[in-house]
A and B are shown apart, each in its own frame.
Chain A
Amino acid sequence: MGGLVTSPAAWLFTPAPVGRVAILRILTYAFVILDVVWLHTSGWYHGYADPIWYQPLVMGQWLHLPAASVLLVESLKWGTVLAALIALTGRLPRAAGCLVAVGWIWYQYIAFAYGKVDHDRGDFVVALLLLPTLGQAYWRDRSLSEAAGFVLRAVQLAAIATYFLSAWAKVRFGGWEWVNSATMVRAVVRRGTPWMKWLLDVPWLLQATQWGLFIAEMASPLIFFVPERVRRWMVYGWFAFHTLTYASITIAFWPHLVMMLAFLPIEEYADRLAARFSRARRPAERAA
């Protein structure tokens, strides 16, 4: 990965297996459906809120996007689901992928244009915009492709930017004293799960966690400079962090978790799953 230093252009287009992006695409579009229908539904409810609460974001001012209505949120919700289903079949990867991107981004816009913006969805926007650039891709295709490598690299960059730039934002908005502040106490008071409320009795532990998190976020770009084996463990480490966060304050950056998969050889996992599945089937066939 020293290529990042010697030749950033070649590094950006490091060839990767087509199948890896095909699988990331399947997971992404499947997640879109899950997200729109079950996970992130505040946009849908905004269809029922009075327009007085609508606060257009810059994007909405430029594009003249209206306040939500029940008709608009229903159209976006089901239109996005339909486009994602088509994209999942692998047909029309560019057209369907672009429709998913427009529908999902607009739906998120409606969710965020009422005064509360979530901060975990920037990398997913990048993925939805770039995934269609690969065109046709089959999950068992192991050909190495620069177009596939580019999509993975861009998603990786956006995913790591989420950590690094959030450390930056902490300094900008919270100041350097953020690490010693009671931010996590506040989070646990407001959203702590019953089995994690004990944390409030050990404030020093929450403060130490703030130091650890801040250092990890600041150091997150190192992931591009370490050997492959270490890189995977760093990704597992982040997954562990997000699991603990969810257990403590029921906040999970779901779309971002999907994006972190761009670091892993997911096509190998898929092969192993497929092999196990066919092994399980073979004895049954013999018996028949």
Chain B
Amino acid sequence: MAAAGPTLRLRPAGKVWRAGLVLLLTAGFLGGTTVGDDHWWPFSPWRMFSTSTSPNAAVASTLIEVRRADAPAEWVPAPLTPGTVGLNRAEIEGRLDLIRADPTVLGTLADSHKRLQPTEPAWVGIRVVIRRYLLKDGALTGEVRDETVAQWAAS
């Protein structure tokens, strides 16, 4: 083991730019937390699980159902994951406005699915469903409501 010699000091200039960098990073993170949003990454606010969920409302979860080329009459649930469509659930949830306004964008998910899983049956229809689990006093009531947000069919 290398013996501990005299303490290795930094020159004043080396301290100045290092301290300056820390101040800059601090300003970035404080700014992101107080006024920034996710678009400020890496200075975005650390807001994991920061939203309040009303104990008497509903917990929503978005899912997709698809019609497959080998059984086009039937809607079946499909995984909404990067490995199947290139995007994950939260990313789709963040773009529900776009999907509502223009359901044809769902067709790009079928294309990505074809590229990522070429051996699986192609998707000829996709619909996005929001499933709401109702809560009362912070506990599940057992009641579930589905809402179809948008639907696309291959032409």
Q: Which residues of A contact B (CB under 8 A)?
A: 9, 12-13, 15, 17-19, 41-42, 44-50, 52-53, 57-59, 105, 108-109, 112, 114-122, 125-126, 129-130, 133, 138, 140-148, 150, 154, 157-158, 161-162, 165-166, 168-170, 172-175, 177-178, 180-187, 189-190, 200-201, 203-204, 206-207, 271
Contacts and interface: CB of A to CB of B under 8 A. Distances in A.
Task: Count chain A CB atoms within 10 A of each CB in B19, B52, B105 and give the residue with the most.
Answer: B52
Contact of A201 (B22, B38, B139): B139
A50 B108 contact: yes
A189 B133 contact: yes
Contacts, number: 216
B50 A115 contact: no
B108 A13 contact: no
Contacts of A121: 42
Contact of B8 (A18, A189, A203): A18
Contacts of B82: 41-42, 44-46
Nearest to A203: B138
A179 B2 CA distance: 51
A119 B46 contact: yes
Given A122-B46, A142-B1, A145-B7, A178 B86 contact: no
Interface of A is mostly: helix
B53 A169 contact: no
Given A143-B5, A150-B18, 18 more contacts: A9-B19, A53-B108, A57-B41, A108-B42, A109-B41, A112-B38, A115-B87, A121-B42, A122-B29, A133-B18, A138-B2, A142-B2, A144-B7, A154-B25, A168-B34, A169-B33, A178-B51, A185-B139
Contacts of A201: 139
Contacts of B111: 50
B56 to A, nearest CB: 8
B47 to A, nearest CB: 4
Contacts of B54: 181-182
B91 A181 contact: no
A163 to B, nearest CB: 8
A73 B47 CA distance: 27
